[in-house]
Amino acid sequence: MAVVNRRIVLAARPHGEPKPEHFRLEEGRTSAPKQGEVLLRTRWLSLDPYMRGRMSAAKSYAKPVEIGEAMVGQTVSEVVASENPAFAEGDLVLASSGWQEFALSDGKGLRRLDPADGPPSQFLGVLGMPGMTAYAGLLEIGRPQPQETVVVAAAAGPVGSLVGQIARLKGARAVGIAGGAEKCAYLTETLGFDAALDHRASDFPDALARACPDGIDVYFENVGGAVFDAVLPLLNDFARVPVCGLVSGYNLSELPPGPDRSPVLMRTVLTKRLTLRGFIVSDFAALHGDFLRDVGGWLRAGRVRAREDVVEGLENAPTAFAGMLRGANFGKLVVKVS
């Protein structure tokens, strides 16, 4: 069965913030699956900050999206036709189909999902790559101990919200940094964070110091920029800093103005014996089974919670993606495609 397929491709590389003209909605036909292939219909599409890096031609840990190619992205997809004995029509799978309604796959890299394990869209969030990022980065690099203080930036997002909740489960204090009073209230009132701070407040550095009277032992970095500037002097000796993302700088087209602050950073790293480690979630692939067991169990027991921000329609993905980079989303951003 050949189908009409809509997809969003990279039309131009952005210089700064992605705008509508950097994307193009195309319509074409996807052929019927050949022997060994399956035809997938995208049900849910994940939007994540790493996609901004794929829009750039700069060398990175993954190949960039080429002009005219569909934007990359994980999906929850339904098998609508199968010539592969490992998959049947109607199966739900975790795939990397990108920003399109249909895709052909040879079956490699697909993971069949059991709806009994949770809502399918959660496999793009708390039970998917963002959840695994929080779990592995915090426990393998951050290593929070009881009574320590764990601070996480972008704390109302899918990674940060789980970081704080796991920190609490491990007996640590969880301090979240988010944008706006509504998000901060959600962190303390719904997720059980010990404190939550609005990074937009004029007294944010002082408020952070008051919230961390014994300093910071683990800082889970998702943002960078002014947030990191406020965190740095509060880090305790031997503090651990898992560096997951630097979203405040993803749209920068040049270095920010001001003096070179790297000497201050490096002197602090030296004198406080800090551990700063960047990581990619695939570094910890061997922990995936442990992650599904632990986080899945915590979800079923109500010990952790997850929030989604749902956008309807593939055509709205570019606007939602640009908004996410500005912090406009509240929870894991997913597109309900079909």
For residue range 239-249, list pLDDT tens digits in order.
999 999 888 88
293: three-class secondary structure by DSSP: helix
**pLDDT at residue 75 is higher than 90:** yes
**Is 99:317 a contact under the CB 8 Å cutoff?**
yes
DSSP bridge partners of 197: 177
**pLDDT at residue 238 is higher than 90:** yes
Do 105 and 220 share a domain, yes or no?
Answer: no
For residues 110 and 96, what is the distance between their CA atoms, to the nearest angstrom? 8
Whether residue 230 is contained in a domain is answered as: yes
Do 164 and 209 share a domain, yes or no?
Answer: yes
Do 230 and 258 share a domain, yes or no?
Answer: yes
Tokens of 135: 């779990």
Indicate the helix (H) or strand (E) that contains 226.
Answer: helix 225-231
Other beta carbons less than 10 A from residue 180's beta carbon: 15
pLDDT at res. 258? 81
Domain count, the chain: 2
84: three-class secondary structure by DSSP: coil
pLDDT band at 10 (very low <50, low <70, confident <90, very high): very high
- CATH for 279: 3.40.50.720
pTM across the whole model: 0.91
Structural domain boundaries enclosing 55: 3-125+307-336
Whether residue 224 is contained in a domain is answered as: yes
**List of residues 6+ apart from 92 with CB closer than 8 A:** 43, 76, 77, 78, 79, 112, 113, 115, 120
Positive or negative, the CA dihedral 188, 193, 195, 197 is: negative
pLDDT at res. 196? 98
Mean pLDDT for 144-164 is 97
Do 46 and 90 share a domain, yes or no?
Answer: yes
For residues 10 and 70, what is the distance between their CA atoms, to the nearest angstrom? 6
Whether residue 234 is contained in a domain is answered as: yes
**pLDDT at residue 214 is higher than 80:** yes
For residue range 309-326, list pLDDT tens digits in order.
999 999 999 999 999 999
Other beta carbons less than 10 A from residue 302's beta carbon: 7
**Chain Cα centroid distance, residue 86:** 30
pLDDT at res. 261? 83
Tokens of 327: 């912090």
